[in-house]
A = this chain, B = another copy of it.
C-alpha cells in the first residue's frame, strides 16, 4: 500500500524551506515586485525603466556603461531600455566632445515630471505594503539587507602570506 493512500495532504507546509533565508527573501520580493509592476504600469514603466530614470536623475551626464554597471545589468541589455526611454522623450543623449564614443544621459523635462509622479505613487504603495512593519524594524531590515548585499562568501579564516 503506497504511502500516498494514507497520507492525504491537506495544506502545503513550507516549514522546511523557511530555514533558508533565500526562500523567505524570494517570497517577499515576489510580493513587492508584483506590487511595483502593477503600480508602474499606468505610467508605462517597468521596474528597470523606472530605476534607469531614477539613476540618470541622480547621476546626470553619466554614460550607458556607467548606468549599466550601476543597475547591475549587461550593456547590451541596456540598449533597448535606453532606446525606449529616448523614443518616449523621457531622456536625451548628448555626444561628449572629449570622448566621442560615449553618450551623456540626462532626463528631459518630461522625464523629470514622470519620475516625480511615478516615485510618489511608488512610495505610497510601498508604505502600504510595509505598514505592518514598525519603522525601527524597517530600518534594521534595510541595514541587514545592505550587509547581505555586500557580503562575500569567501572564507576569511587563515592567512595566505
Contact = CB atoms under 8 A, between A and B. Distances in A.
Interface of A: 2-5, 7-9, 12-17, 19-33, 35-36, 47, 51, 54-55, 57-63, 66-67, 69-70, 72, 94, 96-98, 104, 106, 122-123, 125-126, 128-133, 137-138, 140-151, 153, 155
Of A54, A144, A146, A155, which is in contact with the most chain B CB atoms at under 10 Å from its CB? A144
A146 to B, nearest CB: 7
Contact of A24 (B2, B97, B145): B145
A4 B151 contact: no
Q: How many copies does the complex hold?
A: 2
A13 B61 CA distance: 12
Contacts of A17: 51, 54-55, 58
A58 B76 CA distance: 42
Given A22-B33, A129-B153, A60 B3 contact: yes
A114 to B, nearest CB: 14
A97 B3 CA distance: 12
Contacts of A123: 19-20
A12 B55 contact: yes
B29 A29 contact: yes
Contact of A4 (B2, B12, B61, B149): B61
A21 B156 CA distance: 30
A137 B132 CA distance: 17
Contacts of A141: 140-141, 144-145
Nearest to A7: B61
